């Protein structure tokens, strides 16, 4: 649950993920220096540092997350689970699922971002075929 701090009074103890990031989102505006997420499994705090996340030319979405970060999150689920991303954006969660050989469902309201995600996922699948 990203942005868990807004709901923390209603959540049981679990693992807290702190994503330390560059705050320049690549779109000429600045966002927070860190984002937090909550998991209902485990305990403690995990800090993910990714200061060189993307060059501006690689940034596809204003709130794009690094693939290794999403892979860490997905690994917290069961391998037989289906991962749901109701805000697919540029498809980072789907790419992470492809790399981990996990089932996934993505939902995105923007047709433009749907196309970006589709192309990105297709490139990922082609890349994965090279190594099989």
- Rounded Cα–Cα distance for residues 83 and 94 (Å): 9
pLDDT tens, residue by residue, 33-81: 778 887 777 777 878 877 555 555 567 877 788 899 899 889 988 999 9
The CATH architecture to which 60-132 belongs is 3-Layer(aba) Sandwich (3.40)
Name the residue with higher pLDDT: 17 or 94.
Answer: 94
Name the residue with higher pLDDT: 56 or 111.
Answer: 111
Domain map (residue ranges) of the chain: 1-58, 60-132
pTM for this model (two decimals): 0.76
Phi, psi of 120 (to 5 degrees): -65, -40
Q: Tell me how far CA of residue 20 lies from CA of 17, 35, 57, 98, 107, in angstroms.
A: 10, 7, 21, 24, 26
pLDDT tens, residue by residue, 15-32: 788 888 765 555 555 567
In which band, very low, low, confident or very high, does the pLDDT at 127 lie, cut at 50, 70 and 90? confident
- Rounded Cα–Cα distance for residues 1 and 40 (Å): 9
CB burial of residue 130 (10 Å; 0-12, 13-18, 19+)? exposed
């Amino acid at each position: 649950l990203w942005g868990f701090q807004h709901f923390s009074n209603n959540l049981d103890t679990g693992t807290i993920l702190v994503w330390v990031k560059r705050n320049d989102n690549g779109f000429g505006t600045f966002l927070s220096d860190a984002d937090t997420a909550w998991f209902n499994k485990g305990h403690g705090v995990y800090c993910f540092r990714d200061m060189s996340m993307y060059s501006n030319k690689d940034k596809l979405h204003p709130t794009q997350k690094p693939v290794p970060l999403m892979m860490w999150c997905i690994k917290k689920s069961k391998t037989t689970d289906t991962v749901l991303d109701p805000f697919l954006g540029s498809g980072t969660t789907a790419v992470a699922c492809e790399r981990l050989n996990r089932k996934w469902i993505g939902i995105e309201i923007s047709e433009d971002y749907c196309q970006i995600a589709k192309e990105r996922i297709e490139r990922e699948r082609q890349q994965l075929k090279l190594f099989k």
